[in-house]
Amino acid sequence: MSEILELAKRLPKAELHMHVEGSLEPEMMLTLSERNQVALPYSDIEEINKAYNFNCLQDFLDLYYQGMSVLQTEQDFFDLTWAYLLRCQQQNVVHTEIFFDPQGHTGRGIPFAVVMGGIQPALRRAESELGISSRLIMCFLRHLDQQSAFDTLEEAQPWLSNIAGVGLDSSEVGHPPSGFRQVFERAAQLGLRRVAHAGEEGPPEYVYEALDLLQVDRIDHGNRSLEDPELVRRLAESEIPLTVCPLSNLRLAVVSDMREHPARVMLESGLNVCINSDDPSYFGGYVNENFEALIHALDLTADEVRRLVANGFRASFLPAGEIERHLGNVAAAQ
Ligand code: ADE
Ligand code: ZN
Closest atom, ligand 1, to C-alpha of 200: 7
CA gap 13, 36 in Å, rounded = 35
CA gap 86, 100 in Å, rounded = 18
Ligand 1 centroid distance, CA of 22 (Å)? 9
The total of structural domains in the chain comes to 1
CA gap 67, 24 in Å, rounded = 8
**Ligand nearest to the CA of residue 22, numbered in listed order:** 1
Best of 15, 19, 140, 223 to mutate for ligand 1, by most ligand atoms within 8 A of CB? 19
- Check if 200 is active-site: yes
Q: Is 279 in the pocket of ligand 1 (CB under 6 A)?
A: yes
For residue 131, the one-letter residue type is G
DSSP 144-201: S-HHHHHHHHHHTGGGGGG--EEEEES--TT--GGGGHHHHHHHHHTT-EEEEEESSS
Q: What is the pLDDT along the chain (334 residues), one digit of tens a residue?
A: 599 999 999 999 999 999 999 999 999 999 999 999 999 999 999 999 999 999 999 999 999 999 999 999 999 999 999 999 999 999 999 999 999 999 999 999 999 999 999 999 999 999 999 999 999 999 999 999 999 999 999 999 999 999 999 999 999 999 999 999 999 999 999 999 999 999 999 999 999 999 999 999 999 999 999 999 999 999 999 999 999 999 999 999 999 999 999 999 999 999 999 999 999 999 999 999 999 999 999 999 999 999 999 999 999 999 999 999 999 999 999 8
DSSP 89-112: HHTTEEEEEEEE-THHHHTTT--H
CATH number, position 248? 3.20.20.140
What three-state secondary structure class fits 270? Answer: coil
Nearest CA to ligand 1 atom 1: 170
Ligand 2 centroid distance, CA of 19 (Å)? 6
CA gap 330, 175 in Å, rounded = 38
Domain encompassing residue 264: 2-332
The pTM of the full predicted model, rounded to 2 decimals, is 0.98
Closest atom, ligand 1, to C-alpha of 101: 1
Distance of CA 261 to the CA centre of its chain: 18
